[in-house]
Structure 1
């Protein structure tokens, strides 16, 4: 091991998407590396503010197991979202026809599912942070021409997220019963952005 190895920063991972947001910074969408990221993800999903993520009691090994499983799928993907090289959110995508949500509504060609968990802030919240981050993530989701409609299914009690999605242009769909929650479907088409 080189003598300065303990002071060397970890290698910067390749991003699947990168966008410079004027006045906000550079957003990078980086695939989750389960062994490297399990502790960070665990620290986020076990906070009370993340209760709708459904992992409050998860251990680090359980988080690792779940994200190893997601990493093994071709239809589901997990990403850490970095702002200027600092992880600030967990973003997950999925193909609804390959997910339990697809059994609860009429999946259309081009539907693309998303989940977003904003990481904890270091200090006071920043006005416009979520809007800027969500805008970049939706740009990423729609960067694939096959994706014509974004699907989200927050817990029906997660009023904050439902309100944020409505303000972003999503339209309300029906309530559905998923194995882990009662959810509200929301949809955003390319034309609604």
Structure 2
């Protein structure tokens, strides 16, 4: 689903048929919309997926801690990349909504995220995560001091997505949107994907895998994930298309 060289999720169901779609470096909405698809996985070692439901008191406890379910992505600090210094910063609606709203209304982005329209639509999407149980965290990706991307880091094993692929404890998913057209299509997506996957594996030692679901028809996007150290694991059936399940394994991070 995402785009040419970045993106980290599948596009919403009825938006597109076939392989045609908007331009590069877009991604899809939160995995809470991922329903009605299956994974073809020939790996005999795959574990059965559990329908995980967290007790309300446990969710309340995690929401009240300083670490939460994702070990605070916004506190992971800066990393050096070939494009410059990059870091994830928390989204502050009062300050960041105009920027994220503009990105969501980009014609190359809108069909994938389905958040185009008035600012209230983007605001509702952000507030849902910020007020939720902490399993999905919205962040801005800041490169050399300038916000250039929007990220959602989420616990795939605690998400509805886990019901549809062989999830493992602490699997961490990523959704990525590179905001401006000038930053797309030049390999930057691969650089950012690798950097954030490395951040997750470094800052979340209990996480053994980072997962993503680019559109199978979007060959440049799949290639970007491969360049970022992800492996092609399976095909995912969606109502309107097929997607590639991409996985970055901790044990293979220095090989791929």
Larger RCO: 1 or 2 (CA < 8 Å, sep 6+): 2
Q: After the TM superposition, which residues 58-97 of structure 1 pair with which residues of structure 2 at under 5 Å, given as runs?
A: 58-73=117-132, 74-97=134-157
Contact 2:82–2:191 (CA<8 Å) still a contact in 1?
no
TM-score (normalised: structure 1): 0.79
Q: TM-score, normalised by structure 2?
A: 0.62
Structure 2 SS opposite 1:155: coil
Change (3 A) 1:192 1:59: farther
Q: For residues 160 and 132 of structure 1, what CA distance do their matches in structure 2 show?
A: 14
CA offsets 1:71-122 (integer angstroms, 9 cap, x no match): 1121000100101211011111111133221111111123111111112155
CA contact (8 A) 2:194 2:229 kept: no
- Is 1:111 the counterpart of 2:171? The answer is yes
SS of match in other structure, 2:168: coil
CA deviation profile, 1:127-186 (whole Å, cap 9, x unmatched): 553333223212211121011100101233333322200222212233334689753211
Are the structure 2 counterparts of residues 20 and 128 from structure 1 closer, same or farther at C-alpha, using a change threshold of 3 Å? Answer: same
Q: Residues 82 and 66 of structure 1: is their aligned pair in 2 closer, same or farther, counting only changes over 3 Å?
A: same
Select the structure that is richer in strand: 1
The residue that corresponds to 2:208 in the other structure is 148
Q: Does the alignment pair 1:43 with 2:68?
A: no
Unaligned runs of 5+ in 1: 1-14
In the other structure, the counterpart of 2:114 is: 55
Alignment match of 2:219 (pick from 159, 162, 186):
159
Q: Which of 98, 102, 106 is matched with 2:158 structurally? A: 98
Which 5+ residue runs of structure 2 have no aligned equivalent? 1-73
Change (3 A) 1:22 1:118: closer
1:52 touches 1:158 (CA, 8 Å); kept in 2?
no
Q: Counterpart of 1:184 in 2: which secondary structure?
A: strand
Separation (CA, whole Å) in 2 of partners of 1:64 and 1:181: 28
Q: How far, CA to CA, are the matches of 2:156 and 2:184 in structure 1? A: 32
